[in-house]
A and B are shown apart, each in its own frame.
Chain A
Amino acid sequence: MKIQLLISLGATSLLGFSIAQALEIDATTQAAAQRVAIGTCATCHGPHGHSYSSKFPVLAAQQPNYLVAQLQAFKSQTRGDPDALGYMWGMAAPLDDAMMAGLADYYSRQTPQAGPAEDPTLIARGKDIYQNGDPAHGIPPCGACHGPGAVGTDAYPRLAGQHVPYLIKQLRSFQNNMRNVAVMHGVARGLEVADMEAVANYLQSLGP
């Protein structure tokens, strides 16, 4: 069986993602990727992409093109947040395009879960920002790109069910350009810490 998957290669767009190109994932690659995912990636990213530690992102049901774009950014050392340097620059170095596609395919097929919903007030505030933005501070609605249920679209990542500390850390990385993504730098620039916490708590609480 062969699975068609859109793989990001080449030039970058505003989000740092790229022009898609079709690659085939054959059964051998699929099996090899499953073994790497379970034998190596799962040590940090958890079984089926559900990481225990909020230091490491949940990968279950993540958009495959986003995953490939990130793996390429790690490999080319263009993603510069601290955990990218400390962990993923090394881990992505030996991955070829086929293995990246296989890993992206594996994680995109895992079943998503909602994370803990801890503070209803915070979640309500986060939902408002996510859906409507904060025009007074120049913050657009997140859902415009990440989709109504925050499941992501193509190169825009799934955010639903993601760990709160991980999301906040990424927003701060966009703010200070450690993750040099122009559109997210623009979005995150005006976000206060309290807003980040609200949005992150809302996103973590979202399920499939």
Chain B
Amino acid sequence: MRYPRALLEILTVLSLAALGLGATKAHAVPSFARQTGMACEACHTVFPELTHFGRMFKANAFTLDNLKQVRDIDATKQEMLSLASLPPLSVMFQISDTWLNSPLPDGTGGPGHSQTSTVGFPQQFSLFYAGKVAPHLGAMIQVTYANDSGTFGIDNTDVRFANNIVLPQETSLIYGVTVNNNPTVSDLWNSTPAWGFPYAGSNAVVSPLAGTEIDGALAQDVAGLAVYAMWNESLYGEIGAYRSAKQGVTNPLTGAAGPLDGTVSNVISGAAPYARVAYEYQWRRHDIEIGLYGADFKLYPGGGTATAPALLSGPSNEFKDLAEDVQYQYIGDQHIFSLAATRIHENMHLDASFAAGAVNNPSDDLTTTRFVATYYYKRKWGGSVSHFQTTGSTDAGLYPNGPAPGVLTSANGSPDTRGWILEANYLPWLNTKLSLQYITYNQFNGGNTNYDGFGRNASGNGSTYLLLWLAF
């Protein structure tokens, strides 16, 4: 069976989106501790979840620096250089083993079974430059080796400028600019996709087809510029736009990195607007945040070849994402408890794909809801319970049945997926985490049993994941 090119591109997008569930995220950054001289607990409940102090450290562009500085000033005492005497470098190293509940078929559908246990050594290995670059200017730049690609590549990156001023009644105003490569990576709370739970996941599992664009589908393949402000450490607003900045793509005519052309898939038309508003309230040892975030992505399917060209103009597929989120934290001396939840609703207007016959409906919708509750005792023992759910309109073009056996397909054209994540953690030291994570699916790509039409059940895609996460 031959699939239209546009369909394959849609599948590519969806697969990338689906990776949002299982993709590695990272990120505790010990270089921040080295720079500030403060222990992990100042910025994190348990890494990578941020405390209020950690959020303010990020909003202030990672520039709080208590190291001895190499300095220079001009004749008016204007600061020309303030450089830490040591670079804020750190390492993240993850070793894992993953067991799938049901083994996958060999290759593209042979009768044999692949291994059920996949060792990742390393599953992920990241190098960070994370800290102050200059007065008011900081960066968190992550370069990651992943065992599925066997290569190093750029990971989440956030370069930001920030300043703060004192307003009347002695309230504070932080304002700044961020340049980053993943929508929501600039966010301050752990209820939004880029820094949300699960903080680490196996890359040796089967991920569902459907996911919204803002939920990691465009991570590292876009560049965003946004301005933000935070009043009185409570009211936060951010507005910006993202443009495609694909990694690993060359222009076939020039052999150079660009310009992007119609051979590239899912290129943003112009710039996609992104906005975020949140309010955080603290009382005693409690902290609650509620917020909204959203973006409007118009993507050209692209994906053409020299013999079958595609245009980066004309109709596009529009993905309008609007999300609510809430986060609650209780940070006691012995007990730490947190809740985080988000609901992302996506309206799709698939003009380009519908015209190409790649989808059945001109418009579809998708809603992803995630909830996580986490508890830690003395920052040493803890665990999380999370429920996730994605539901949406049925579209057999968008969520197709595939060549036998499917695994990553849907027999009924439904994206509906729901399940639970249970995670237990032990931290012998604050920068070392041993995790056991179990994922179970009640529904996968629209079905509980035989969801792919070839006998595979949703529960078969459940997994057990043992992870050693070192951050130093």
Residue ranges of A at the interface with B (Cβ–Cβ < 8 Å): 34-35, 38-40, 42-44, 47-48, 52-55, 85-87, 89-91, 93-94, 165, 169
- Asked if A42 and B166 sit within 8 Å, CB to CB, the answer is no
**Known contacts A38-B172, A52-B284, A54-B285: does B331 contact A91 (CB below 8 Å)?**
no
Q: Which of B35-43, B253-261, B421-429 contacts A (4 or more CB under 8 A)?
A: B35-43
A183 to B283 Cα, complex, angstroms:
34
A104 to B110 Cα, complex, angstroms:
74
Which residues in A have their C-beta under 8 angstroms from that of B67? 93
Which listed residue, B39, B166, B172, touches A87 by the CB 8 Å rule? Answer: B39
- Asked if B66 and A94 sit within 8 Å, CB to CB, the answer is yes
- Asked if B36 and A90 sit within 8 Å, CB to CB, the answer is yes
Residue ranges of B at the interface with A (Cβ–Cβ < 8 Å): 36-39, 41-42, 52-53, 56, 60, 64-67, 164-166, 170-172, 174, 232-233, 282-285, 331, 333
- Asked if B37 and A89 sit within 8 Å, CB to CB, the answer is yes
- Asked if A85 and B39 sit within 8 Å, CB to CB, the answer is yes
- Asked if A165 and B53 sit within 8 Å, CB to CB, the answer is no
Which residues in A have their C-beta under 8 angstroms from that of B333? 55, 165, 169
- Asked if B285 and A47 sit within 8 Å, CB to CB, the answer is no
Question: Which residue of B is nearest A169, CB measured?
Answer: B333
- Asked if B39 and A86 sit within 8 Å, CB to CB, the answer is yes
In angstroms, how far is the closest chain A Cβ from the Cβ of B413?
Answer: 50
- Asked if A43 and B37 sit within 8 Å, CB to CB, the answer is no
- Asked if B66 and A53 sit within 8 Å, CB to CB, the answer is no
A56 to B2 Cα, complex, angstroms:
65
Query: Given contacts A39-B60, A87-B42, A89-B37, could you give 4 more A-B pairs where the C-beta distance is less than 8 Å?
Result: A43-B52, A55-B333, A90-B37, A91-B37
In angstroms, how far is the closest chain B Cβ from the Cβ of A30?
Answer: 12
**Known contacts A42-B172, A43-B53, A47-B170: does B37 contact A52 (CB below 8 Å)?**
no
Which residues in B have their C-beta under 8 angstroms from that of A54? 284-285
- Asked if A93 and B37 sit within 8 Å, CB to CB, the answer is yes
A124 to B205 Cα, complex, angstroms:
62
In angstroms, how far is the closest chain B Cβ from the Cβ of A91?
Answer: 7
**Known contacts A34-B166, A39-B166, A93-B66: does B285 contact A53 (CB below 8 Å)?**
yes
Which residues in B have their C-beta under 8 angstroms from that of A44? 53
A87 to B37 Cα, complex, angstroms:
8
Which listed residue, B174, B232, B331, touches A55 by the CB 8 Å rule? Answer: B331
In angstroms, how far is the closest chain B Cβ from the Cβ of A46?
Answer: 8
- Asked if B38 and A53 sit within 8 Å, CB to CB, the answer is no
Question: Which residue of B is nearest A94, CB measured?
Answer: B66
A90 to B272 Cα, complex, angstroms:
40
Which residues in B have their C-beta under 8 angstroms from that of A38? 166, 170-172
- Asked if A39 and B172 sit within 8 Å, CB to CB, the answer is yes
Question: Which residue of A is nearest B54, CB measured?
Answer: A43
In angstroms, how far is the closest chain A Cβ from the Cβ of B34?
Answer: 10
Which residues in A have their C-beta under 8 angstroms from that of B174? 39
**Known contacts A38-B170, A42-B172, A165-B333: does B282 contact A53 (CB below 8 Å)?**
yes
A89 to B284 Cα, complex, angstroms:
24
Which listed residue, B38, B60, B166, B331, touches A35 by the CB 8 Å rule? Answer: B166
Which residues in B have their C-beta under 8 angstroms from that of A42? 172, 233
A20 to B282 Cα, complex, angstroms:
38
Which listed residue, B66, B164, B233, touches A90 by the CB 8 Å rule? Answer: B66
